[in-house]
Amino acid sequence: MELPSALSRKFSIKSTIGCMFLITATITAAFAISLQYYFGKQTSRDYVLSKLSVASDQVSDYLQRVESNAISSAQLLRSVALSTDHTFSEQEIRDIFIRVLTDNPLFNSLYFGLDNDDFYQVINLASSSIVRKKLGAAALERWVIVKISGDPGSRVKQSYYFTSEFKLTRQINEISDYYPSRRPWFVKASQESVFKTAPYLFQNLRTTGKTYSVRSGRGVIGIDIVLSSVENKIVPLELGLLPNSGAETFIFNQRGGVIASNTKLQDNILIPESVPLKLTEEQKAIIQSSPSLIVSNQNSWGPYDYSQSGEPMGYAIDVLALIAQQTGIELKYINGFDSKTLSGKYQKGHLDIIHSVVGDPKTFGERSLPIFKSYLAVAERDTKSSQRVLQDIDTENIGIVAGFGMKQWLSEYYPTLSTIEFPGLDEARKALDSGKIQYILDTELTLSDTDFLGNNTPLKISTFNEREPVSFHLFMRENNADLLAIINQAIGEITPKQREALSRKWLDAKWQQEGVLPYKEVHQFAARRDKHNTMVKIEINGESKYLYISQLKSHFSSSDYFAVLIPEDIVSSAVVDHMFKSITATMFLMATLCPFVWNFGAPVVRRIKDLERETAKIKARNFSDVRIVPSRIAEVSELSQSICEMGKAIGLHEKRQEEFLDAIVQLIAQAVDDKSPYTAGHCNRVPEIAMMLADAAEKSQKLAFRNFAFKNEDEKREFKIAAWLHDCGKITTPEHIVDKGTKLGANYNRINEIRTRFEVLWRDAEIHYYQSIIDGKKNPEELLGQLNARKLSLTQDFEFIANVNIGGESMSKEQLERIKQIAQQKWLRYFDDSLGLSPFEETKRSKEKVSLPAVEHLLADKPEHITRRFRPIEFDPNLGIKMTVPEYEYNHGEIYNLSISRGTLTEEERYKINEHVISSIKMLEALPFPPELSKVPSYASTHHETLRGTGYPRGLKAEDLSILDRILAIADIFEALTAADRPYKRAKPVSVALDIMYKMALDQNIDIDLFLLFLESGVYLEYANIFLPDNQNDKVDIRKYFKGYELV
């Protein structure tokens, strides 16, 4: 066996043991370092987890503390206001507010608004750098007091800037359209408890935050906290992580909306800026005289109009921004209210613009050009087939969002629909989940947004394509018609590039990244309580990260979450550095120890060499010669004993395997012999003859066999197995072919079927005779003579056909011609021969219908006698098979079979018989013979080859055939010739068999030298004495075969 190149170089055992020591030490060190790395990484992860747990608690406590302080402060101020009849002066109110803000530095501002819309606010500029920047405050300014009062159209906002010592630095007066009574913190405040708003946009500061408010008498007290103060608490440095660690932190709500984050969530798609419109002087005057326009902003109508942490977002918001760029109109948004409330505020005159309205509600005023279009869709909860046409669901309850024209539009175009209005999509979704409604109707993308962000059962959304997309508009009251005309002009000037950018930003599959969690996996883990407060390894965008997520404590029912994403390499970087240092120290120590360990193997070398010699005996399969090598080294002694025991076990196993294989081989041979009673014993007797002749050739000193000998018992066993398996392919040969003893034989001898037809003709002759007498056409004596002549002719013809059927002698031309003449005789068939046939037989029949009675020939070759091949036969070129394959698989034609010139087999049947050798090749080549039996397939498949190349299946010649190949051919022929009870011949005496074999030797069909050795050694006689009856074992004078040919 050739060793791989990597093992071709050898080493002494001394160096091997030294190397093994070093390898062992290296493996041990590597294992130790791996454990150190694993536990170090676990420790690092636990360390980061502990940091994040502490940070999470701190953030949660911080937010809860802020909430508690805001709640207690609001309640305290309410109690102070309600518990006394004293009317506080502005100075006293200011001092109380400043004291509260000083004690709570995270409060952005404290204020109160009265029912008459008077407003008083104290702003803490130290609470946030963003607040200072938004208000344009100087560094020395510490406080801002804002007062707003006056009637609509003449409201004034007064802003007073003070230093920390409360010295007035400046005062700013400006027109205001701010009405506290219209803000969500005012509207939803109550005396019973403190109300907390969702994040929204502070109108005065134009920044995002939350408000805690409580009603007190004729007004509402409010405390503002900007979210930027929360974001400062979740930066990596505050969490105990490095600023450049790549950690991403989020505080988000149940819908996935981000409340605070250290990561920029805005989409990178920029909308091209607009060029200012060319306005007339009159239009410019209209814009300059107009105050800021208050615009609606829905809470959650993505991707067109929604607010995220109070910041207005969406397709429509960006369209309005483009309008503002073109016209110079100042827009201020109001949010925090549900859609129905916003619609009500617009109709009460609290809003100047309401947008994203479908249709043309008559009460909304003037309508603009479409700002966008969208297909409508329905969302349903169950899995039944979705409806594609609105009229098909007119019997179901359909939920819609109130206040933005959808009800009026549906009433106009689909008056039969049953609709239920809801303040917002969240309420509609809850009604759908509870079964109150069966569908929600809205835009396709809005429903997809609702499905993506919800934690409920997934929705099935179906788009309605039976009409054009629906247009959405903005509305203004009639008194703003001039402004609306300018806005329409701006809408018409929005460029295709701007529209394309708007679509890519908001209407493609990634729009929901705007203002919500950028990673859906984080949102999914929020719903899994078992994954909270632990480090979970996840893969995001192909990058491994650790996720920490926890639910924040709150005094309110809403649930917010805190999440941190940390790259995996950040967690393990310190451990990796420590691991490399350990590896360096270990390598240095091992290099120092090398000279000492190199000679450790000397005491073992000698005994190993002794063991090597013992294993060589096993390799040579001399199992009984293996001896124990004495040694004081326990392992060497035990190894020696194991080698001895192994040698015995291998020897026993090999013997059992040989016995098992021999049994399998003999079982196959017996199965082949048992398949037909006519070949019984053939596979068993051929090995006997073959081994006798092989032994004789091995002992012979003749020149032809001087170099022939089995090298070992393996070669002898190999040849014997091949002799046993030489006809194993016959297991696939049909029995009726192997047993075919007559030419008309199929699964039965059809001569009786032919005889029946002769009987019919005999009876027809008699009937003709008697009918003719009755008719009186001829002399009865003459008719009797004709009848007797006809009967004699039929008798002779049948006897001829019956004798031909036996197939004993070669057929002459005259005999072939007589068969054809006899076949021309006709008889009448009165019954349908297509009845009672198998499906396979029906496929071979002609489809042409024959009327009855039908004229039939006495003998015929019919189409149904031919069995065609289902697929062509192709031989693997590597097998070297050179056999001519007949066109048909079988041909049972009666004339065709009776015309066989020699024997009883047709060309097709002869091929089927010979095909057993091909089957033998395929079967034996498929077996994984060990090397010592590798020639079994070759020996077993060449016993039908001849020295002159006329044999099969490969057409080999003398130079291709070994002595063993030739021996097996002689053994096969002699057994076949002397075998009794073959259906196609009678057993031949030994003398006749040897005569035939002698002729075959002269014709170079078998080897003449081996044939003469077969005679001279007495193998034929020894076999005959054992296996043949006395009447076959006649006397043979073998000298006649040696005349003219001397065995050298």
User: Mind listing the pLDDT tens digit for each residue in 224-254?
Assistant: 887 766 777 777 777 767 677 778 888 877 7
**Tokens of residue 493, six digits:** 């000037």
pLDDT in tens, 53-67: 777 777 777 777 777
Q: Which helix (H) or strand (E) holds 111?
A: strand 109-114
- Mean pLDDT score, 502-516: 67
**With the CA atoms of 566, 569, 571 and 573 taken in that order, what torsion angle do they form, in degrees rounded to the nearest 10?**
-150
The CATH number, out of the four listed (3.40.190.10, 3.30.930.10, 3.40.50.2020, 1.20.1070.10), of the domain defined by the range 378-468: 3.40.190.10
Side chain identity at residue 823, one-letter code: A
Q: What is the end-to-end Cα distance of the chain in Å, rounded?
A: 41
Can you give the pLDDT at residue 169?
93
Q: What is the pLDDT of residue 211?
A: 87
Q: Per-residue pLDDT averaged across 719-723, rounded?
A: 82
Contact 78, 266 (CB under 8 A): no
Asked if pLDDT for residue 350 goes beyond 60, the answer is yes
Q: What is the mean pLDDT of the chain?
A: 80
Q: Which pLDDT belongs to residue 162? A: 94
**Whole-number percent of the chain with pLDDT over 90:** 7
So what's the pLDDT on residue 719?
84
Query: In 3-state terms, what secondary structure has residue 593?
Result: helix
Is 96 in contact with 89 (CB distance < 8 Å)? no
Strand-strand pairing, 397-401 and 439-443: parallel
| Residue 513 banded pLDDT, cuts 50, 70, 90 | very low
Report the pLDDT value the prediction gives residue 160, as an integer from 0 to 100. 94
Residue 1029 pLDDT greater than 90, yes or no: no
Over residues 666-680, mean pLDDT: 67
801 Cβ partners below 8 Å, 6+ apart?
751, 754, 819, 822, 859, 898
Phi, psi dihedral angles at 147 (to 5 degrees): -125, 135
Among 10-24, 330-344, 355-369, which stretch is predicted with the lowest mean pLDDT?
A: 10-24
Residue labelled with tokens 């009409």? 467
In CATH, 676-740+905-1041 is 2.102.10.10: no
HEC string for 649-702? HHHHHHHHHHHHHHHHHHHHHHHHHHHCCCCCCHHHHHHHHHHHHHHHHHHCCC
Query: What does 170-237 look like in DSSP terms, one character per residue?
Result: EEEEEE----GGGSHHHHT--SSS-EEPPSEE-TTT-SEEEEEEEEETTEEEEEEEETHHHHTTSSGG
* Entry field: residues in the chain: 1048
Whether residue 304 contacts residue 292, with contact meaning beta carbons closer than 8 Å, is answered with no
Alpha-carbon gap, residue 94 to 391, rounded angstroms: 63
Mean pLDDT lowest among 100-104, 261-265, 967-971: 261-265
pLDDT at 788 over 50: yes
Q: What is the DSSP letter of 1041?
A: G
Tell me, rounded to whole angstroms, the distance of Cα 407 from its chain centroid.
Answer: 47
Asked whether the beta carbons of 899 and 811 are under 8 A apart, the reply is: yes
pLDDT category of residue 598 using cuts at 50, 70 and 90: low
**pLDDT in the model for residue 353:** 93
- pLDDT tens profile 614-652: 777 777 667 777 777 777 777 777 777 787 878 777 778
CA distance 395 to 406: 18
CA distance 355 to 322: 14
Helix, strand, coil tally for the chain in percent (to 5): 50, 15, 35
Please give the CATH architecture assigned to the domain spanning 268-375+469-511. 3-Layer(aba) Sandwich (3.40)
Closest CA to 996 of 1019, 978, 1018, 1017: 978
Average confidence (pLDDT) over 25-29: 76
Rounded distance between C-alpha atoms, residue 292 and residue 324, angstroms: 11
pLDDT score, position 454: 47
Angle at 572 (CA atoms; ends 566, 573), nearest 5 degrees: 100
Between residues 688 and 16, which one has the greater pLDDT? 688
At 176, the pLDDT band (50, 70, 90 cuts) reads: confident
Let me know if 879 is exposed, middle or buried by CB neighbors in 10 A (0-12, 13-18, 19+).
Answer: middle
pLDDT band at 737 (very low <50, low <70, confident <90, very high): low
Closest CA to 709 of 720, 696, 692, 718: 696
Task: Return the pLDDT at 457.
Answer: 62
Average pLDDT over residues 802-817: 82
Calpha distance 871→1038 (Å, rounded): 51
CA separation for the pair 329, 785 (Å, rounded): 135
C-alpha to C-alpha distance for 144 and 904, rounded to whole angstroms = 124
Return the amino acid letter for 726: H
pLDDT of residue 984 exceeding 60, the answer is no
Q: Which residue has the higher pLDDT, 391 or 93?
A: 93
**Cβ(453)–Cβ(524) under 8 Å?**
no
Contact residues for 209 (Cβ-Cβ < 8 A; gap 6+) = 108, 199, 200, 202, 224, 225, 226, 227, 310
pLDDT at 122: 93
pLDDT at 689 over 80: yes
Give the number of other Cβ atoms within 10 Å of residue 364's Cβ. 22
Q: How many CA atoms lie within 13 A of 193 on its CB side?
A: 7
Domains 268-375+469-511 and 676-740+905-1041 share a fold: no
Q: Which of 537, 630, 717 is nearest to 45 (CA)?
A: 537
pLDDT of residue 828: 86
Closest CA to 447 of 464, 435, 471, 434: 464
Domain boundaries, the chain: 268-375+469-511, 378-468, 621-675, 676-740+905-1041, 750-899
Q: How confident is the model at residue 511 (pLDDT cuts 50, 70, 90)?
A: very low
Q: For the chain, count helices (H), then strands (E).
A: 31, 32
